[in-house]
Amino acid sequence: MTITFVDIIDYLGTFAFAVSGIRLASAKKFDWFGAFIVGMATAVGGGTLRDVMLGQSPFWMTQPIYFAINGFALLLFVFLHKQINRVSNTIFLFDTIGLGLFTVVGIQKTLDAGFPLWTANIMGMFTGAAGGVIRDILINEVPLIFRRDIYALACCAGGIFFSWGITEGLPLEACTIGCAMAVIIIRLLAVMFHWQLPILHDSEDEKKEEDKPENQ
């Protein structure tokens, strides 16, 4: 079996997302099996949604390597959990790396299926962000995509860079690497400088704010 450049990115993204899911499951006191399920759902959730929307069989059903990668991530965490937990922002770093890599994979696999570039950008966002949504739901957290954090928008920015690169005739490898780096850098900068989208308030919230006493 020939392993392509996109395959390597896919495997690295799978590992990164699996670790982020397993780390969060550990924080919630899940057992090994529960952590494996959360890691697997995080790693393949976005790609599964993409394949279903594209009318294809989910990729992990015919390629057991994704189970092996998730199992390796679990064993690595079991033996090195103290060292991993000592590193601050472990979840954020692995989640950010997975987000960037999976955005690239989603775009490329959609293009390979014969869909236009704009559809590929949407599928890239789903591939990158949906796994984190499933993970957060499984551990009973509000998904990052629904908070003010710049998350799915970082995927969109990466897709824009990929589209620009393809239009300008850049090599495919440069477009994929640039797309992943754009997602990762924007996500990092958003957290460092607290870039956030405004909260959507309803009229009741605004009325409560106006009714508050000034000295409160």
Closest CA to 17 of 137, 122, 141, 100: 100
Banded model confidence at residue 216, pLDDT cuts 50, 70, 90: very low
Mean pLDDT of 164-176: 93
Banded model confidence at residue 150, pLDDT cuts 50, 70, 90: confident
Mean pLDDT of 125-136: 93
**What's the pLDDT at 6?**
85
Q: How far is CA 145 from the centre of its chain?
A: 10
Judge whether residue 202 has pLDDT over 90: no
| Exposed e or buried b per residue across 171-183, where buried means at least 16 C-beta atoms within 10 angstroms of its C-beta | eeeebbbbbbebb
CB atoms within 10 A of CB 122: 18
Distance, first Cα to last Cα, the chain: 68
User: Percent of the chain having pLDDT more than 70?
Assistant: 91
Condensed to tens digits (0 to 9), the pLDDT of residues 31-53 reads: 999 999 999 999 999 999 999 99
